[in-house]
Amino acid sequence: MKRALKTLLRLIVVLVLGLGLGLGTIRTGLIQTYAPVEGPELRIAPDLFVEYARRGALTLKLHFFLPDDFKETDSRPAVLLFHGGTWKGGHPKRMYSQCEYLADNGLVAISASYRLMGKGGLSPLDCVTDARAAFEWLIEHGPQYGVDPERIAVGGGSAGGHVGACVGLMPVEEGAPRPRALVLFNPPLDLSGEAWPEEFMTPQRKALMTVFGDQALEISPLRYVDQDSPPTILFHGDEDKSVPFQQSVEFSSRMEQAGVRCDFHPYEGRTHGFYNKSRDGGKDFDQTMCLTIEFLASLGLSAAQPPG
Protein backbone atom coordinates (compact mmCIF):
# COMPACT_ATOMS: atom_id res chain seq x y z
CA MET A 1 0.00 0.00 0.00
CA LYS A 2 2.82 2.40 0.90
CA ARG A 3 4.58 1.78 -2.44
CA ALA A 4 1.30 2.19 -4.37
CA LEU A 5 0.60 5.47 -2.56
CA LYS A 6 4.10 6.70 -3.33
CA THR A 7 3.65 5.89 -7.02
CA LEU A 8 0.33 7.75 -7.04
CA LEU A 9 1.95 10.74 -5.40
CA ARG A 10 4.72 10.67 -8.00
CA LEU A 11 2.16 10.75 -10.78
CA ILE A 12 0.59 13.80 -9.14
CA VAL A 13 4.03 15.44 -8.88
CA VAL A 14 4.46 14.99 -12.63
CA LEU A 15 1.50 17.31 -13.12
CA VAL A 16 2.27 19.72 -10.28
CA LEU A 17 5.96 20.20 -11.12
CA GLY A 18 5.44 20.14 -14.83
CA LEU A 19 2.65 22.68 -14.84
CA GLY A 20 3.23 24.65 -11.65
CA LEU A 21 6.97 25.10 -11.94
CA GLY A 22 7.08 25.51 -15.70
CA LEU A 23 9.82 22.90 -16.04
CA GLY A 24 9.02 22.08 -19.63
CA THR A 25 8.30 18.45 -18.90
CA ILE A 26 5.87 16.49 -20.99
CA ARG A 27 6.34 17.42 -24.64
CA THR A 28 4.82 15.90 -27.72
CA GLY A 29 6.92 14.21 -30.37
CA LEU A 30 7.76 10.85 -31.85
CA ILE A 31 8.51 8.38 -29.06
CA GLN A 32 10.48 5.21 -29.66
CA THR A 33 8.59 1.95 -29.34
CA TYR A 34 10.14 -0.52 -26.93
CA ALA A 35 9.79 -4.17 -26.08
CA PRO A 36 7.45 -4.83 -23.13
CA VAL A 37 9.03 -4.52 -19.69
CA GLU A 38 8.13 -7.04 -17.02
CA GLY A 39 8.76 -7.09 -13.29
CA PRO A 40 8.52 -4.58 -10.42
CA GLU A 41 9.47 -1.69 -12.72
CA LEU A 42 5.90 -1.75 -14.06
CA ARG A 43 4.65 -0.54 -10.68
CA ILE A 44 7.05 2.40 -10.48
CA ALA A 45 6.44 5.86 -11.90
CA PRO A 46 8.97 8.70 -12.28
CA ASP A 47 8.24 12.10 -10.83
CA LEU A 48 8.63 13.87 -14.15
CA PHE A 49 9.79 13.51 -17.73
CA VAL A 50 12.01 16.15 -19.30
CA GLU A 51 13.05 16.42 -22.92
CA TYR A 52 16.79 16.77 -23.33
CA ALA A 53 17.21 16.44 -27.10
CA ARG A 54 15.46 15.91 -30.40
CA ARG A 55 16.81 13.84 -33.24
CA GLY A 56 14.60 14.74 -36.18
CA ALA A 57 11.09 13.87 -35.04
CA LEU A 58 12.37 11.69 -32.20
CA THR A 59 12.09 13.03 -28.65
CA LEU A 60 14.65 11.92 -26.07
CA LYS A 61 13.71 12.28 -22.41
CA LEU A 62 15.08 12.04 -18.91
CA HIS A 63 12.89 10.19 -16.41
CA PHE A 64 13.42 11.93 -13.05
CA PHE A 65 13.01 10.36 -9.61
CA LEU A 66 13.03 12.86 -6.74
CA PRO A 67 13.50 12.25 -3.01
CA ASP A 68 10.43 12.50 -0.79
CA ASP A 69 11.78 15.62 0.91
CA PHE A 70 12.81 17.29 -2.35
CA LYS A 71 12.67 21.09 -2.50
CA GLU A 72 13.12 23.44 -5.46
CA THR A 73 16.11 25.02 -3.75
CA ASP A 74 17.97 21.73 -3.31
CA SER A 75 21.43 21.07 -4.71
CA ARG A 76 21.71 17.29 -4.49
CA PRO A 77 23.99 14.69 -6.02
CA ALA A 78 22.48 12.88 -8.98
CA VAL A 79 22.92 9.57 -10.76
CA LEU A 80 22.20 9.36 -14.50
CA LEU A 81 21.54 5.79 -15.67
CA PHE A 82 21.15 4.18 -19.08
CA HIS A 83 19.22 0.98 -19.73
CA GLY A 84 20.50 -2.12 -21.48
CA GLY A 85 19.14 -3.95 -24.51
CA THR A 86 22.06 -4.63 -26.87
CA TRP A 87 21.92 -1.02 -28.14
CA LYS A 88 18.77 -1.90 -30.10
CA GLY A 89 16.13 -2.62 -27.47
CA GLY A 90 15.27 -2.11 -23.84
CA HIS A 91 13.45 0.72 -22.10
CA PRO A 92 14.30 3.39 -19.50
CA LYS A 93 11.96 1.47 -17.17
CA ARG A 94 14.66 -1.16 -16.82
CA MET A 95 16.52 1.19 -14.47
CA TYR A 96 13.46 2.40 -12.56
CA SER A 97 14.06 0.16 -9.54
CA GLN A 98 17.62 1.42 -9.21
CA CYS A 99 16.41 5.01 -9.60
CA GLU A 100 13.72 4.56 -6.96
CA TYR A 101 16.27 3.13 -4.53
CA LEU A 102 18.63 6.06 -5.11
CA ALA A 103 15.83 8.61 -4.67
CA ASP A 104 14.72 6.87 -1.47
CA ASN A 105 18.27 7.49 -0.23
CA GLY A 106 18.13 11.20 -0.95
CA LEU A 107 19.68 11.46 -4.42
CA VAL A 108 18.11 12.70 -7.63
CA ALA A 109 18.07 9.75 -10.00
CA ILE A 110 17.44 9.78 -13.74
CA SER A 111 16.86 7.03 -16.27
CA ALA A 112 17.50 8.28 -19.80
CA SER A 113 16.16 7.30 -23.18
CA TYR A 114 18.52 7.30 -26.15
CA ARG A 115 18.42 6.37 -29.82
CA LEU A 116 18.40 2.66 -30.44
CA MET A 117 19.82 0.99 -33.51
CA GLY A 118 17.08 0.63 -36.08
CA LYS A 119 14.87 3.06 -34.11
CA GLY A 120 16.40 6.43 -34.90
CA GLY A 121 20.02 5.36 -34.43
CA LEU A 122 22.41 3.83 -36.90
CA SER A 123 25.10 2.40 -34.63
CA PRO A 124 26.23 2.23 -30.98
CA LEU A 125 28.07 5.51 -31.60
CA ASP A 126 24.66 7.23 -31.82
CA CYS A 127 23.80 5.73 -28.43
CA VAL A 128 27.03 7.13 -26.99
CA THR A 129 26.43 10.53 -28.58
CA ASP A 130 23.01 10.73 -26.94
CA ALA A 131 24.37 9.63 -23.58
CA ARG A 132 26.95 12.39 -23.68
CA ALA A 133 24.23 14.88 -24.67
CA ALA A 134 22.08 13.78 -21.71
CA PHE A 135 25.00 14.28 -19.31
CA GLU A 136 25.86 17.70 -20.70
CA TRP A 137 22.19 18.73 -20.59
CA LEU A 138 22.09 17.72 -16.91
CA ILE A 139 25.22 19.75 -16.22
CA GLU A 140 23.62 22.86 -17.74
CA HIS A 141 20.01 22.49 -16.65
CA GLY A 142 20.29 20.22 -13.60
CA PRO A 143 20.17 23.05 -11.03
CA GLN A 144 16.57 23.73 -12.14
CA TYR A 145 15.77 20.22 -10.90
CA GLY A 146 17.70 20.31 -7.64
CA VAL A 147 20.85 18.75 -9.12
CA ASP A 148 24.34 19.84 -8.14
CA PRO A 149 26.19 19.85 -11.50
CA GLU A 150 29.47 19.15 -9.69
CA ARG A 151 28.13 15.91 -8.17
CA ILE A 152 26.78 13.76 -10.98
CA ALA A 153 27.54 10.08 -11.37
CA VAL A 154 26.78 8.21 -14.59
CA GLY A 155 26.25 4.54 -15.32
CA GLY A 156 23.88 1.81 -16.38
CA GLY A 157 23.40 -1.85 -17.05
CA SER A 158 24.75 -3.98 -19.90
CA ALA A 159 24.71 -1.88 -23.10
CA GLY A 160 23.60 1.04 -20.92
CA GLY A 161 26.66 0.47 -18.76
CA HIS A 162 28.74 0.66 -21.92
CA VAL A 163 27.35 4.02 -23.01
CA GLY A 164 27.63 5.34 -19.45
CA ALA A 165 31.25 4.22 -19.31
CA CYS A 166 31.89 5.97 -22.62
CA VAL A 167 30.59 9.22 -21.13
CA GLY A 168 33.10 8.92 -18.31
CA LEU A 169 36.09 7.55 -20.17
CA MET A 170 36.15 8.62 -23.82
CA PRO A 171 38.27 11.69 -24.62
CA VAL A 172 36.57 15.07 -24.41
CA GLU A 173 37.65 18.60 -25.21
CA GLU A 174 39.89 20.22 -22.64
CA GLY A 175 37.78 21.65 -19.85
CA ALA A 176 34.71 19.61 -20.75
CA PRO A 177 32.93 18.12 -17.72
CA ARG A 178 33.29 14.50 -16.69
CA PRO A 179 31.13 12.50 -14.28
CA ARG A 180 32.29 12.40 -10.69
CA ALA A 181 31.88 8.62 -10.66
CA LEU A 182 30.71 5.64 -12.70
CA VAL A 183 28.20 2.98 -11.59
CA LEU A 184 28.42 -0.02 -13.94
CA PHE A 185 26.47 -3.29 -14.04
CA ASN A 186 27.94 -6.03 -16.31
CA PRO A 187 28.95 -3.57 -19.05
CA PRO A 188 30.69 -4.43 -22.34
CA LEU A 189 33.95 -2.53 -22.03
CA ASP A 190 35.82 -3.77 -25.09
CA LEU A 191 33.92 -4.11 -28.38
CA SER A 192 36.84 -5.40 -30.40
CA GLY A 193 36.36 -8.91 -31.77
CA GLU A 194 39.32 -10.43 -29.92
CA ALA A 195 37.73 -9.49 -26.57
CA TRP A 196 34.80 -11.84 -27.20
CA PRO A 197 35.59 -15.58 -26.87
CA GLU A 198 34.04 -17.92 -29.41
CA GLU A 199 31.36 -19.13 -26.98
CA PHE A 200 29.94 -15.61 -26.91
CA MET A 201 29.82 -15.29 -30.69
CA THR A 202 26.22 -16.20 -31.47
CA PRO A 203 24.91 -15.33 -34.95
CA GLN A 204 23.27 -12.26 -33.45
CA ARG A 205 26.54 -11.20 -31.80
CA LYS A 206 28.48 -11.70 -35.04
CA ALA A 207 25.95 -9.53 -36.87
CA LEU A 208 26.35 -6.88 -34.18
CA MET A 209 30.14 -6.97 -34.53
CA THR A 210 29.66 -6.27 -38.22
CA VAL A 211 27.63 -3.19 -37.31
CA PHE A 212 30.40 -2.02 -34.96
CA GLY A 213 32.91 -2.14 -37.81
CA ASP A 214 35.70 0.41 -37.48
CA GLN A 215 33.90 2.04 -34.54
CA ALA A 216 34.57 -0.93 -32.25
CA LEU A 217 37.83 0.43 -30.83
CA GLU A 218 36.66 4.04 -30.86
CA ILE A 219 33.82 3.24 -28.46
CA SER A 220 35.61 0.70 -26.29
CA PRO A 221 35.89 2.33 -22.84
CA LEU A 222 38.63 -0.07 -21.73
CA ARG A 223 41.20 1.53 -24.02
CA TYR A 224 40.73 4.98 -22.45
CA VAL A 225 41.48 4.14 -18.82
CA ASP A 226 44.06 6.58 -17.41
CA GLN A 227 44.82 8.58 -14.29
CA ASP A 228 41.95 10.97 -15.05
CA SER A 229 39.28 8.27 -15.20
CA PRO A 230 36.40 8.68 -12.72
CA PRO A 231 36.29 6.40 -9.68
CA THR A 232 34.09 3.43 -10.50
CA ILE A 233 31.97 0.78 -8.86
CA LEU A 234 31.59 -2.29 -11.05
CA PHE A 235 29.37 -5.36 -10.70
CA HIS A 236 29.64 -8.50 -12.84
CA GLY A 237 28.59 -12.13 -12.51
CA ASP A 238 31.28 -14.66 -13.36
CA GLU A 239 28.77 -16.89 -15.18
CA ASP A 240 27.64 -14.10 -17.54
CA LYS A 241 27.03 -15.63 -20.99
CA SER A 242 26.22 -12.30 -22.66
CA VAL A 243 29.18 -10.09 -21.72
CA PRO A 244 32.58 -11.62 -20.93
CA PHE A 245 33.35 -11.40 -17.21
CA GLN A 246 37.03 -11.11 -18.10
CA GLN A 247 36.43 -7.63 -19.53
CA SER A 248 35.54 -6.36 -16.06
CA VAL A 249 38.56 -8.13 -14.58
CA GLU A 250 40.79 -6.40 -17.13
CA PHE A 251 39.12 -3.03 -16.53
CA SER A 252 39.63 -3.30 -12.79
CA SER A 253 43.29 -4.19 -13.34
CA ARG A 254 43.88 -1.22 -15.64
CA MET A 255 42.18 1.15 -13.20
CA GLU A 256 44.46 -0.12 -10.45
CA GLN A 257 47.52 0.36 -12.67
CA ALA A 258 46.37 3.93 -13.41
CA GLY A 259 46.01 4.65 -9.70
CA VAL A 260 42.24 5.17 -9.92
CA ARG A 261 39.74 3.69 -7.52
CA CYS A 262 37.67 0.82 -8.87
CA ASP A 263 35.45 -1.08 -6.47
CA PHE A 264 35.05 -4.30 -8.43
CA HIS A 265 32.42 -6.70 -7.06
CA PRO A 266 32.48 -10.06 -8.85
CA TYR A 267 29.43 -12.24 -8.15
CA GLU A 268 30.15 -15.94 -8.15
CA GLY A 269 27.73 -18.08 -10.13
CA ARG A 270 25.65 -15.11 -11.29
CA THR A 271 24.52 -14.63 -14.87
CA HIS A 272 23.76 -11.54 -16.94
CA GLY A 273 21.38 -9.08 -15.30
CA PHE A 274 21.62 -10.68 -11.86
CA TYR A 275 21.42 -7.24 -10.23
CA ASN A 276 17.83 -6.58 -11.30
CA LYS A 277 15.13 -6.49 -8.66
CA SER A 278 13.08 -9.12 -10.46
CA ARG A 279 15.86 -11.72 -10.11
CA ASP A 280 16.00 -14.17 -7.19
CA GLY A 281 13.76 -12.15 -4.92
CA GLY A 282 15.86 -9.02 -5.27
CA LYS A 283 18.63 -10.18 -2.91
CA ASP A 284 21.43 -9.17 -5.26
CA PHE A 285 19.57 -5.99 -6.17
CA ASP A 286 19.49 -4.92 -2.52
CA GLN A 287 23.16 -5.71 -2.01
CA THR A 288 24.40 -4.01 -5.17
CA MET A 289 22.39 -0.90 -4.42
CA CYS A 290 23.54 -0.78 -0.80
CA LEU A 291 27.13 -1.00 -2.01
CA THR A 292 26.42 1.72 -4.58
CA ILE A 293 25.06 4.09 -1.93
CA GLU A 294 28.11 3.46 0.28
CA PHE A 295 30.46 4.02 -2.67
CA LEU A 296 28.79 7.28 -3.66
CA ALA A 297 28.71 8.54 -0.08
CA SER A 298 32.45 7.88 0.26
CA LEU A 299 32.98 10.28 -2.67
CA GLY A 300 30.80 13.02 -1.22
CA LEU A 301 27.87 12.04 -3.41
CA SER A 302 25.39 11.56 -0.59
CA ALA A 303 22.16 13.29 0.30
CA ALA A 304 23.99 15.58 2.72
CA GLN A 305 24.59 19.05 1.37
CA PRO A 306 28.23 19.80 0.46
CA PRO A 307 30.22 21.74 3.07
CA GLY A 308 30.50 25.46 2.82
Give the tens place of pLDDT for each residue, 149-166. 999 999 999 999 999 999
238 class by beta-carbon count within 10 Å (0-12 exposed, 13-18 middle, 19+ buried): middle
Beta bridge partners of 39: none
According to the CATH classification, is domain 2-298 in 3.40.50.1820? yes
Task: Quick: pLDDT tens for 36-75.
Answer: 445 555 678 999 999 999 999 899 999 999 999 999 899 9
Task: For 80-117, write each residue's pLDDT tens digit.
Answer: 999 999 999 999 999 999 999 999 999 999 999 999 98
Hey, what amino acid is at 39? Answer: G
pLDDT at 244 over 70: yes
Element (H, E) at 208: helix 203-212
- Residues 133 and 140: beta-carbon distance below 8 Å: no
Does the pLDDT at position 198 exceed 70?
yes
Q: Report helix angle 124-141 to 159-169, nearest 10.
A: 60
Q: Using 50, 70 and 90 to split pLDDT, how confident is the model at 193? A: confident
What Rg, from alpha-carbon coordinates, does the chain have? 18
Which residues share a beta bridge with 182? 154, 232
Identify whether the C-beta of residue 14 lies closer than 8 Å to the C-beta of residue 24: no
Does the global pTM surpass 0.75? Answer: yes
